[in-house]
Structure 1
Amino acid sequence: MRKLAAVLVLFALSGTRLAAQYERRYEVGLFGAYTKYDKTFGLADKPGGGVRFAYALGPALSLEVEALFQSPQNLPASAQIEPLIGSGSLLLYALNASRMSLYLIGGYSRLDFGGTSPYRFTDGGVHGGAGVKFFMSSRFALRFEGRGIYTPTTNATFGPKNATHLVASAGVSFFQSSGPPAADADHDGVPDKQDACPDTPLGATVDKRGCPSDSDGDGVLNGIDKCPDTPAGATVDATGCPHDSDGDGVLDGIDKCPDTPAGVKVDEKGCPPAPPDSDGDGVDDSMPNRLRP
């Protein structure tokens, strides 16, 4: 189970950005559910299935309605009820990654328990929960959700004043954009009409205005730069990475003595230390007197 969860997370956070994920669009979903009723209701926990319809108001907000049809519940004297739960919800997206959306959900639920006594009543309550969508493509996703339904004042005649029911669901969702994708000539995820930098190189990361940046100032843009922490002054290749041609530990561009022989110690500028010359005569003090000119 842990391995499966790890695979889903890696899948969700990898891949290219799905532009349609952030457009206004319609969602139609089918799902299976398992409902755990408040114990005071005396009903068995049952599977069920339903359908949902949603409309995205923006990248972070959606409106949704759904109907959940419950499996029949057997009652004494061969009677049965088939509970139905209808709901209207507001979805708030806490995370929109490239292939995954995490959301919080809240709204109003109406529970209809049928027409057989003592369940001949309906209840209204608020619900809240959380869920996740794993996008297989821009038009198809797997969706998992858990929610609780709280009825502050139940219409049941068999004791409880309030009730809490729990619902877990898993299903599939299909999406339809509300219009054709906005033109994006440089493919940076920002539509041309809003893009302040319309010629961004492919692969560069951009801000909300569509403009790239170069954090280390090496001339290679973030997103393309494979070495984003290059020291100032170092020369880099096309991937933004520096080199040290003479292997002295000082990067090219910073190295003032780029042809230092191997093994020679150098200072921070990449140059070997000058020989001692305390009297300023231009002769190395360490040279024996007999060898001095």
Structure 2
Amino acid sequence: MLKRSLLTVATLTSVGLLPLAHAADQPVDNRWYISPFGTFIKTDNDRQADDGWGGGLGVGKMINRYLNLEVRGFYNSLDGDNSATSDREWTLAGGTLDLQYYFSRQKLAPYAVVAVGGMDTRLNKINSIGFLAEGGLGLTYEVSNNFLLRSDVRYRYNNNEDHVQSGTTEFDDMVVNVGFVIPFGAKPTYVAQTETPVAAAPVAAAPDCSTLDDDNDGVNNCVDQCPVTPANSTVDRSGCPVKLILKGEHFNFDSAELTLNAKELLDGVAQSLANYPQKNDIEVQGHTSSEGSNAYNMKLSQRRAASVVEYLKAKGVENRLTATGFGEDHPIADNDTEAGKSENRRVELIWIEN
């Protein structure tokens, strides 16, 4: 005999959370600003120049919670290094369009930046205007609503089609900017909205659970420990499934091939099992009537049980399913009548204790 067990449902206790202000509730700061800055430039070896200094000014706008768009102009000056002629002097003047992405808008706010633009490079009396691109990371620190400190480190790529420096038209420098940001106008602030209390609607009395049977298994909700039992299953006194019998002509004659009606019935069983929270193992038992030899009926019932298992698995049933054939050994009706034989040709799903 198979050992059957009650299926229990764990009772979950919900925990109340205090309401929190979401970022979406905060107003968007979209002010214009100016941003003066000083620059240290670590030069590419191809320039044959010492590291230099400079500065510039940016004018920008805060687009939303994450993005700033800024137009910047700058000027850098470099002297020739010890390996080059001492009177070589570089001047770098240009402008960029910056897109800054802020990971947060807290008091200390990190950001990433990409920039494109152009730069006029002058070496002694030779000059060239070329393409410029920058990328890097930075931080701002809000001292007050209208004054922020800012610094970033950038990689700078510069391409000059005219050869201001023999041997190369491309330069790779590192740029460190330190400055401040002055936004114009007052910073938007969040004002909590006061809501007028609304009188609570009268609460209807909860229905008596002893009069309810949500899953129609014959066990009322007060004592039903398995409240979503698969349809048409046999349950114990606690409302937990024990057995589900699939009655009717489910297979073609002398075959394990499922009929169309059987597939439609098994579709409903598969949906019920998919919705049922407990995933206990299930044994699928095949039974036949007494026509033919016992040995043949044993093999036929095994094939039919396996056919049902394969179909349910294909429909997404996650329970562990095993197929067992019992042949004609366990009749539930008289095999001497056609009606009894039809009753005996059946498939049973038996819930197993895990």
Q: Does 1:167 align with 2:175?
A: yes
Quick one: higher RCO (CA 8 Å, sep 6+), 1 or 2?
A: 2
Structure 1's 70 and 161: CA in aligned 2 closer, same or farther, altered over 3 A? closer
| Structure 2: gaps (5+ residues) | 1-22, 197-354
Q: Does 1:96 align with 2:102?
A: no
- Structure with larger Rg: 2
Name the structure 2 match of 1:145: 152
Q: Does 1:116 align with 2:115?
A: no
Structure 1's 25 and 151: CA in aligned 2 closer, same or farther, altered over 3 A? same
1:167 and 1:20 mapped to 2: Cα distance?
35
1:72 positional shift: 5.3
Native 8 Å contact 1:27 1:173 kept in 2? yes
Native 8 Å contact 1:109 1:149 kept in 2? no
Which residue among 64, 86, 89 is the counterpart of 2:95?
86
SS at match of 1:114: strand
Q: Does 1:51 align with 2:60?
A: no
Deviation per residue, 1:251-279 (Å, 9 max, x gap): xxxxxxxxxxxxxxxxxxxxxxxxxxxxx
Name the structure 1 match of 2:142: 135
* Percent of aligned positions that are identical: 20
2:129 and 2:159 mapped to 1: Cα distance?
13
SS at match of 1:96: coil
Kindly provide the amino acid, as one letter, of the partner of residue 138 in structure 1: N
Structure 1's 24 and 88: CA in aligned 2 closer, same or farther, altered over 3 A? same
Q: TM-score, normalised by structure 2?
A: 0.42
Q: TM-score, normalised by structure 1?
A: 0.51
Structure 1's 20 and 56: CA in aligned 2 closer, same or farther, altered over 3 A? farther
1:171 and 1:38 mapped to 2: Cα distance?
24
Kindly provide the amino acid, as one letter, of the partner of residue 125 in structure 1: L
1:124 positional shift: 0.7
Kindly provide the amino acid, as one letter, of the partner of residue 33 in structure 1: T
1:140 positional shift: 0.4
| Aligned residue runs from structure 1 range 57-68, under 5 A | 57-68=63-74
1:22 positional shift: 4.0
Deviation per residue, 1:121-150 (Å, 9 max, x gap): 122132100111000011101101011112
Structure 1's 36 and 174: CA in aligned 2 closer, same or farther, altered over 3 A? same
Structure 1's 92 and 25: CA in aligned 2 closer, same or farther, altered over 3 A? same
| Aligned residue runs from structure 1 range 8-19, under 5 A | none
More helix by share: 2
1:70 positional shift: 1.5
| Structure 1: gaps (5+ residues) | 1-16, 187-191, 193-197, 201-293
SS at match of 1:95: coil
Which residue among 36, 42, 46 is the counterpart of 1:30?
36
Native 8 Å contact 2:32 2:60 kept in 1? yes
Native 8 Å contact 1:26 1:53 kept in 2? yes
Structure 1's 101 and 20: CA in aligned 2 closer, same or farther, altered over 3 A? farther
